[in-house]
């Protein structure tokens, strides 16, 4: 990342970034039209919801995505990746959200960003693998659903320079599609980061039964998993995770913005076509005005999204504030348009077959992931108002 | 906005404006100023504000992007900078709001060469105050339902009718006036004039009092008022199109000829400051998690509006060119209203104290601002109408009318 402190012009979104975004939009709209997404992930409800099978994904499409280099976008150039700016990645991820792409792409990008933030030889090696097509995911969340880096899900013990990991990492995104987990563990008063193969001895994945049809999620059980020096990414990783957190928030926010804009456009189209009382329903202000409100919210989230990406790219001190604002706005915008999209479609929107629920659920998942709007605002209040006071200042 | 968005010339101008504002900030007003120009009530307030606008104009902060031939300073992309700096500096607002953000842009687009040379300089300097005669008792949201008539008599027009909610009418030398010249066509029967007000025979201005207790808007009655045809703006029957130019400018979709001032500490800083000093229900408001959440919501909207303005200038990140500009009036007015409402909530029992109470937090600003905020959610096309416009023009939904 660059070290300048002022954010670049136009959020750093120039021709290259637009080209990457437009390529993604074209490719995904051709290869994953709604019809295809629906047959892929929502053929029938029983397998996923009653039999507990994992939602399928298109491995051939994935091979094409890898061939296009998207998985290596967050790897540095030295590792064979493209070293694209976060603004550029953001544009691409908006398209991923717009098409509700089921894939390990976002978890892999997230893990890559963590590895880049950590730096060093071990991270570099894994990034090179990722640039070559390997997939990854983060195992950094505990059973309490804490997003604080210090609340690592695992306990590490140091046995002759090797680490031995115990514990359960929860809410691991697309774990069954990942080759490597980047896991955080507590070692004494430090947080360590390790890269663990999903096939490692002592590691087992237990699928969560989730409502979202476009991903899988798992609890990763670590029972005496041994990690050699070649897989220890960092022995002092709390600041690494804190530093990369804004970027992770930006990726989820981008997914939310893309999916929300798609829901808005889909609902607007429906409001133009569907006629009741001899008028397209969009004529009625109880339909029209909420759609305008949704647009306003989505626009706010999108502006904050690119603002956050630009601040992060510039290494600015405002990165965390900007990213938390973006995630709060994106989560709330997504909640609102998801709600109105189903309601304003009437009965058809409530059907399994129609497919709006695919977006509704993906958005619902992402609202909670990495903390919802309320959580982001709680953290923002600490930054902008200050901590809760124990001795109130009476002199003001 | 980060400075990297600016050209070298713009940066240099920004520095000049900052320096100038620091050196030339005016002395405190002789009496308390209202929150916005459209509640200016007294001659003392008016004279003070007119002197301030003239000074800003001479220094190049107003009319920055207007052609020199019409009294402007002939630059490009400077007005936006000046507006921002004036907002930031906490200096008084520019009084001639109708002249700057409505009359001048409309005359610039629709006027004859002669009209531009005659009318625009006074808008910019503030020497001639303007008002807007659009609304009538029967023509509010349905603006085209105009009754005030203009009848041609040789080289003159005779105006009869009744305008209402006319902000600054009590100080105005000129009015941008929409009239009906043809009863058989609702939209194509309108004609737009530049009409003299102060001291003009047949014109009567009567003040109306607002919910805040302030005056600032008026009724204006026209009884056989004669004006020359040279004061007609654009063609007979084109009044609707000209009025649309005015409304687009009024709603903030363009930079205008100058605006700003009346700012100071950001709304969010003020709310945080208030929360840290407000004891409410026995506890400090800044320690209440619900209040903290509410303030952060406002902070997010504030930053969102700033970043919207930035994104509107990046075509690659805008799906529809008018999508962000047309949100301006709606989002800005609701932003102010929600902030003011929250300020009232934060102040708790202290929020009951109004303007003249010596113990009122921030001199009674919060209840005053909250009451006054409805002016902006109603004026310039109500926010319901803004939502219609956005739904129809941007989203393409069926027209409500
Ligand atoms: C502080 C202030 C200053 C003003 N200054 C000026 C001025 O200088 N010059 C000037 O010409 N005018 C001025 N106005 C007038 C302003 O433009 C009108 O008040 C406004 O356009 C609304 O018209 P109305 O008051 O007749 O309300 P109405 O049009 O009667 O509206 C009443 C309610 O019905 C709603 N409504 C009406 N039509 C629709 C619809 N189609 N869909 C949904 N809802 C609808 C409105 O949103 C509103 O809530 C000012 C108003 C205020 C409050």
Tell me, yes or no, if B300 comes closer than 8 A to chain A by beta carbon: yes
SS3 at position A173: strand
* Catalytic residue ranges of B: 250
Contacts for B10 with CB less than 8 Å, ≥ 6 apart: B77, B78, B81
SS3 at position A186: strand
DSSP string, A126-153: HHHHHHTT--EEEE---TT----TTS-S
Q: Does A391 score more than 60 pLDDT?
A: no
With a pLDDT cut of 90, the percent of chain B lying above it is 92
Nearest to B260 by CA among B37, B108, B68: B37
Q: Does B254 score more than 80 pLDDT?
A: no
Domains plus CATH for chain B?
3-128 (1.10.540.10), 131-238 (2.40.110.10), 267-394 (1.20.140.10)
Nearest residue, CB atoms, A385 vs list B3, B295, B324: B295
* Distance (Å) of CA A104 to CA A92, A134, A138, A388: 14, 10, 11, 39
| CATH 2.40.110.10 domain locations along chain A | 138-236
Determine which of B8, B77, B265, B316 to mutate to test the interface with A (most A C-beta atoms within 10 Å). Answer: B316
Mean pLDDT of chain A: 95
d(CA A123, CA A106): 18
| Residue A207 phi, psi dihedral angles, 5° rounding | -65, 135
Q: What is the pLDDT of residue B252?
A: 75
CB atoms within 10 A of CB B292: 23
d(CA B55, CA A385): 38
Q: Does A5 score more than 80 pLDDT?
A: no
Nearest to A367 by CA among A343, A336, A323, A341: A336
Nearest chain A Cα to B315, which residue?
A10
What integer is the mean pLDDT of B258-285?
87
SS3 at position B292: helix
The complex scores an ipTM of 0.95
A377: which chain B residues are within 8 Å (Cβ-Cβ)? 292-293, 296-297, 300
Q: Per-residue pLDDT tens for A341-373? A: 999 999 999 999 999 999 999 999 999 999 999
Q: What is the pLDDT of residue A373?
A: 98
Nearest residue, CB atoms, A299 vs list B2, B289, B324: B324
Q: Does A395 score more than 70 pLDDT?
A: no
Determine which of B279, B307, B319, B332 to mutate to test the interface with A (most A C-beta atoms within 10 Å). Answer: B307
DSSP assigned state of B319: S
As a CATH number, domain A239-390 is: 1.20.140.10
Q: Does A2 score more than 70 pLDDT?
A: no
CA angle B305, B308, B314 (to 5 degrees): 160
A280–B314: do the CB atoms touch at under 8 Å? Answer: no
d(CA A149, CA A377): 18
Structure tokens at B71: 């009294």
| CATH 1.20.140.10 domain locations along chain A | 239-390
SS3 at position A276: strand
Torsion of Cα atoms, B73 then B75 then B80 then B83, to 10°: -20
As a CATH number, domain A138-236 is: 2.40.110.10
d(CA B319, CA A133): 33
- pTM summary value: 0.95
What integer is the mean pLDDT of A56-64?
95
Structure tokens at A284: 């009625």
Tell me, yes or no, if A202 comes closer than 8 A to chain B by beta carbon: no
Q: Does A108 score more than 60 pLDDT?
A: yes
CATH fold of the domain at A15-135 = Butyryl-Coa Dehydrogenase, subunit A; domain 1 (1.10.540)
What integer is the mean pLDDT of B11-26?
97
Q: Does A8 score more than 80 pLDDT?
A: yes
């Amino acid at each position: 990342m660059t070290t300048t402190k002022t954010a670049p012009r136009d959020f750093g979104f120039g021709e290259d970034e637009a080209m990457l975004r437009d390529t993604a939009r074209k490719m995904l709209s051709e290869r994953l039209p709604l019809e295809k997404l629906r047959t892929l992930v929502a053929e029938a409800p029983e397998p996923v919801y009653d039999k507990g099978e994992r939602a399928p994904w298109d491995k051939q499409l994935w091979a094409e995505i890898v061939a296009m280099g998207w998985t290596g976008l967050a790897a540095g150039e030295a590792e064979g990746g493209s070293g694209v700016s976060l603004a550029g990645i953001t544009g691409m991820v908006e398209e991923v959200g717009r098409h509700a792409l089921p894939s390990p792409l976002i978890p892999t990008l997230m893990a890559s960003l963590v590895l880049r933030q950590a730096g060093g030889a071990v991270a570099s090696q894994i990034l090179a693998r990722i640039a070559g097509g390997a997939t990854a995911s983060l195992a950094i969340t505990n059973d309490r659903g804490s997003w604080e880096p210090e609340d690592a899900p695992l306990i590490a013990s140091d046995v002759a320079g090797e680490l031995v990991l115990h514990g359960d990492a929860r809410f691991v995104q697309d774990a069954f599609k990942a080759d490597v987990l980047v896991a955080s563990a507590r070692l004494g008063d430090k947080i360590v980061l390790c890269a663990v193969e999903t096939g490692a001895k002592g590691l087992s994945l237990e699928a969560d039964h989730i409502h979202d049809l476009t991903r899988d999620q798992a609890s990763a059980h670590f029972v005496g998993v041994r990690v050699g020096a070649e897989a220890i990414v960092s022995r002092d990783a709390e600041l690494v995770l804190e530093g990369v957190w804004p970027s992770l928030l930006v990726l989820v926010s981008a997914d939310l913005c893309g999916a929300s804009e798609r829901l808005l456009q889909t609902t607007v189209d429906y409001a133009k076509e569907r006629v009741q009382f001899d008028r397209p329903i969009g004529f009625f202000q109880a339909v029209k005005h909420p759609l305008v409100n949704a647009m306003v919210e989505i626009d706010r989230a999108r502006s904050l999204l690119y603002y956050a990406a630009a601040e992060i790219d510039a290494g600015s001190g405002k990165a965390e504030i900007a990213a938390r604002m973006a995630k709060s706005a994106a989560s709330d915008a997504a909640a609102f348009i998801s709600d109105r999209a189903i309601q304003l479609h009437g009965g058809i929107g409530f059907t399994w077959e129609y497919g709006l629920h695919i977006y509704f659920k993906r958005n619902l998942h992402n609202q909670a992931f990495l903390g919802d709007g309320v959580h982001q605002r709680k953290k923002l209040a600490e930054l902008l108002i200050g901590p809760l006071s124990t001795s109130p200042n009476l002199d003001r | 906005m980060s400075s990297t968005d600016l050209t070298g010339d713009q940066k240099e101008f920004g520095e000049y404006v900052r320096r100038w504002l620091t050196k030339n900030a005016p002395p405190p007003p002789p009496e308390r100023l209202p929150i916005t120009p459209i509640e200016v009530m007294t001659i003392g307030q008016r004279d003070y504000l007119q002197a301030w606008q003239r000074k800003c104009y001479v220094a190049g902060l107003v009319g920055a992007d207007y052609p020199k031939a019409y009294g402007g300073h002939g630059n490009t992309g400077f007005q936006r900078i000046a507006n921002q700096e004036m907002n930031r500096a906490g200096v008084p607002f520019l009084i001639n709001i109708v002249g700057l953000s409505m009359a001048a842009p409309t005359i610039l687009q629709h006027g004859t060469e002669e009209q531009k040379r005659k009318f625009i300089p006074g808008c910019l300097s503030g020497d001639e105050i303007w008002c807007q005669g659009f609304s009538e008792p029967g023509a509010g949201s349905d603006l085209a339902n105009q009754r005030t008539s203009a009848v041609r008599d040789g080289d003159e027009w005779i105006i009869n009718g009744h305008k209402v909610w006319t902000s600054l009418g009590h100080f105005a030398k000129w009015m941008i006036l929409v009239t009906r010249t043809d009863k058989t066509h609702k939209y194509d029967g309108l004609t737009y004039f530049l009409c003299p007000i102060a001291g003009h025979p047949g014109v009567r201005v009567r003040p109306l009092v607002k919910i805040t207790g302030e005056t600032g808007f008026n009724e204006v009655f026209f009884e056989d008022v004669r004006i020359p045809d040279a004061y007609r703006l654009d063609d007979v029957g084109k009044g609707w199109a000209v009025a649309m130019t005015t409304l687009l400018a009024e709603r903030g979709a363009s930079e205008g000829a100058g605006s700003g001032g009346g700012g100071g500490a950001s709304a969010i800083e003020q709310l945080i400051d208030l929360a840290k000093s407000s004891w409410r229900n026995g506890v400090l408001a800044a320690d209440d998690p619900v209040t903290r959440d509410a303030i952060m919501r406002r902070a997010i909207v504030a930053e969102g509006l700033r970043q919207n303005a930035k994104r509107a200038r990046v075509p690659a990140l805008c799906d529809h060119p008018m999508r962000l500009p047309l949100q301006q009036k709606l989002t800005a007015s609701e932003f102010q209203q929600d902030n003011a409402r929250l300020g009232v909530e934060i102040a708790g029992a202290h929020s009951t104290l109004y303007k003249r109470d010596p113990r009122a937090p921030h001199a009674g600003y919060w209840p005053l601002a909250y009451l006054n905020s409805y002016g902006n959610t109603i004026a310039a096309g109500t926010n319901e109408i803004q939502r219609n416009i956005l739904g129809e023009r941007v989203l393409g939904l069926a027209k409500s009318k």
